[in-house]
């Protein structure tokens, strides 16, 4: 199986390459921009499978397919969970949310292998996908979650969205942490919330945490090019921005 990686952040590309090496899949070619990828596809045999990041250094990766007729199957590798994941569910083999989990990656590859053996190549409708990936300001105004209903014994309590410092998963549960320093269990997963939280207000800094921009008290550099966030009242465990998300996090803050 011939595999290539298209990813503008070289550390992320190398990490994915090492993960593939561990399951005996070699991705010897790594491309980092639209321009470089177009040139490569014009001169080389196309691979069976592409691991494709959406945002490259010189534009959206979909621009590659406007210029080259690529027949390869695609697994998206993306940090853009706020308003793009539904796009990746249209016709791609799968999507992997950064930081990429090894088990999820293997599941995606197994899905590709099943389609490949059944001779069912994936055909992507890039026009439909791009419509879902426009800047959220340009999209139709969307209603985001304004409050949560939480259960306290036999009672229900309404928690306004502006009172939530962070939302996190722990021991298979999902919790709200409020500005009053209280934690409430909710019955939704972080994945289920990804299209319900306003992307200007909440950011998923890693696999287990969403943070409210107004709850950030301080930020400090951390090991391995990461950032550690200090919130106003939450201090139960460290909140660290995953290395692959630091760039997007800084853009989100602006």
At 100 the pLDDT is 86
In a domain, 139, yes or no: no
20 and 108, same domain (yes or no)? yes
Least confident of 51-55, 75-79, 235-239: 75-79
In a shared domain, residues 121 and 13: yes
**What share of the chain has pLDDT > 90, as a percent?**
52
Do 18 and 117 lie in one domain? The reply is yes
Helix (H, G, I), strand (E, B) or coil at 192: helix
Q: What is the pLDDT of residues 156-170, one digit of tens each?
A: 899 999 999 999 999
For residue 181, the domain's CATH number is 2.40.50.1020
Q: What confidence tier does 77 reach under pLDDT thresholds 50, 70, 90? A: confident
Model confidence at 76: pLDDT above 50: yes
The tens digit of pLDDT for each residue in 117-134 reads 666 555 555 555 555 555
Long-range contacts of 175-182 (CB under 8 A, 24+ apart): 176/148, 176/150, 177/231, 177/233, 177/234, 177/236, 178/233, 179/215, 179/232, 179/233, 180/233, 181/233, 181/234
Q: What is the pLDDT of residue 239?
A: 95
Same domain, 97 and 43: yes
Residues 166 and 239 in one domain: yes
DSSP characters over 38-95: HHHHHHSPPPSEEEEESEETTEETHHHHHHS----EEEEEES-TTT-HHHHTSSSSEE
Q: Are the C-beta atoms of 206 and 241 separated by less than 8 Å?
A: yes
Based on the fold, state whether residues 57 and 91 are members of the same structural domain: yes
Give the chain's domain count: 2
Whether pTM exceeds 0.75 = no
> In angstroms, rounded to a whole number, what is the distance separating the alpha carbons of residues 47 and 67?
17
pLDDT surpassing 60 at residue 69: yes
Domain range holding 156? 147-253
SS3 content of the chain, % helix, strand, coil (to 5): 30, 30, 35
Q: Does the residue 14 lie in any domain?
A: yes
């Amino acid at each position: 199986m011939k595999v290539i990686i298209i990813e503008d952040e070289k550390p992320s590309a190398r990490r994915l390459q090492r993960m593939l090496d561990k399951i005996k899949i070699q991705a010897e070619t790594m491309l980092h921009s639209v321009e470089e990828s177009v040139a490569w596809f014009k001169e080389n045999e196309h691979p069976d499978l592409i691991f494709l990041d959406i945002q490259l250094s010189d534009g959206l990766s979909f621009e590659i397919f406007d210029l080259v007729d690529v027949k390869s199957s695609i697994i998206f590798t993306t940090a853009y969970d706020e308003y793009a994941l539904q796009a990746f569910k249209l016709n791609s083999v799968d999507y992997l949310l950064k930081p990429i989990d090894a088990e999820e990656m293997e599941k995606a590859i197994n899905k590709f292998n099943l389609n490949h053996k059944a001779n069912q190549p994936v055909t992507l409708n890039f026009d439909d996908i791009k419509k879902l990936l426009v800047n959220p300001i340009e999209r139709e105004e969307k209603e985001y979650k304004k409050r949560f209903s939480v259960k306290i014994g036999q009672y229900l309590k309404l928690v306004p969205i502006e009172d939530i410092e962070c939302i996190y998963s722990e021991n298979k549960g999902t919790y709200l942490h409020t500005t009053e320093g209280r934690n409430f269990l909710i019955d939704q997963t972080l994945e289920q919330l990804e299209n319900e939280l306003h992307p200007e207000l909440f950011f998923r800094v890693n696999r287990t945490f969403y943070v409210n921009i107004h709850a950030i008290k301080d930020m400090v550099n951390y090991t391995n090019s990461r950032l550690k966030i200090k919130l106003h009242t939450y201090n139960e465990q460290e909140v660290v921005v995953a290395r692959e998300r630091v760039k997007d996090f800084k853009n989100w803050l602006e």
